[in-house]
């Protein structure tokens, strides 16, 4: 019996939306206040949806303690209170939340105890982003 598990995590980080492909004026026009040279920050909420067979003994898709430990090491410790622009994963791409969702998806694909379905990130009360790899995000998330 396959079931779905969604777990929520939080971290705070700063970034500056800027691309070397454009001059300063075009960056300001495209990214507006998000192109501030000093950056700006967000309190991100990340929801990770996993699936798997329900273990007949534990009744769970996966051990939540294992998932939380993985998230602490690979999500929270890596991104919390950082400037995203300084991280290797954004060395050659803009640190948009679209790109952040792809990076977090890539990270959680390495959690072996369950199958990663999708990542949902809330950047602000008005902006959220979903990434499901090559699949369409689950209904109701868009």
Any idea which residues carry the catalytic annotation? 34, 81, 123
List, in order, residues 6 or more apart from 71 with CB less than 8 Å away: 7, 9, 48
88-101: buried (b, 16+ CB within 10 Å) or exposed (e) per residue?
ebbeeebbbbebbb
* Nearest alpha carbon to residue 131 among 97, 92, 102: 102
């Amino acid at each position: 019996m396959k079931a779905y598990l969604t777990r929520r995590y939080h971290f705070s980080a700063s970034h500056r939306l800027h691309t070397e492909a454009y001059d300063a004026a075009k960056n300001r026009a495209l990214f507006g206040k998000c192109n501030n040279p000093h950056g700006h920050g967000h309190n991100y909420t990340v929801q990770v949806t996993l699936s798997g067979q329900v273990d007949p003994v534990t009744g769970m898709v996966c051990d939540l303690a294992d998932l939380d430990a993985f998230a602490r090491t690979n999500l929270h410790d890596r991104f919390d209170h950082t400037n995203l622009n300084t991280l290797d994963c954004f060395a050659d791409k803009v640190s948009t939340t679209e790109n952040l969702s792809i990076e977090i998806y890539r990270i959680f694909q390495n959690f072996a105890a369950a199958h990663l379905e999708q990542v949902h990130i809330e950047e602000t009360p008005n902006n959220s982003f979903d990434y499901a790899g090559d699949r369409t995000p689950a209904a109701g998330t868009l």
